[in-house]
Structure 1
């Protein structure tokens, strides 16, 4: 099976950027222990919008992540305190991958 990718955008409540970035750092540490997670990136799009890009070895790894410690329930529990709403998530199949440097 092909490697899967997730692109998500999430809006942070005004003034909660530092807390959101702590959540993302915690997620990175959790994801490092998920054997099927092959990459994790967080980008700041503007003052209150972040993008998250993850890749997973297969569907089982993606589902384990969604149900895991930094997955859906954890993020949704922070809606209204750190995040303005649940993330908007798109899943896809990775077509090409390159690592440089």
Structure 2
């Protein structure tokens, strides 16, 4: 498996919505389980109101499938009620990976 591409999404919760956004992100793993081209998927919290998602892909087709999939659609549905700003979504190129196979 060669992970070449990623998506980083940074999310800022509206005041008082932090727990709801965290719960939404925790449930996201079940959604991406049906996306075989999404090789890894992480939801994380940076500080009290900043959260994020980082996922990895072997190719652009897999990344585009994800970007047009259920997680972005679900985020679009809850975004107005949970997010202070629009998500900061960045496409990334992966330069190096350390996985458990070394």
With normalisation by structure 1, the TM-score equals: 0.85
Distance 2:99 2:7 in 1: 18
Does residue 10 in structure 1 map to residue 3 in structure 2? no
Distance 1:45 1:92 in 2: 19
Q: How far apart are 1:46 and its partner, in Å? A: 1.2
1:29 equivalent in structure 2: 30
Distance 2:69 2:97 in 1: 25
Distance 1:64 1:85 in 2: 24
Structure 1 residues not aligned, in runs of 5+: none
Instruction: Compute the RMSD of aligned alpha carbons.
Output: 2.0
Map 1:38-57 → 2, pairs under 5 A: 38-57=39-58
2:63 equivalent in structure 1: 62
- Off by >6 Å, runs of 4+ in structure 1: none
With normalisation by structure 2, the TM-score equals: 0.84
Structure 2 residues not aligned, in runs of 5+: none
Q: How far apart are 1:2 and its partner, in Å? A: 6.0
Please state which structure has a larger fraction of its residues in helix. 2
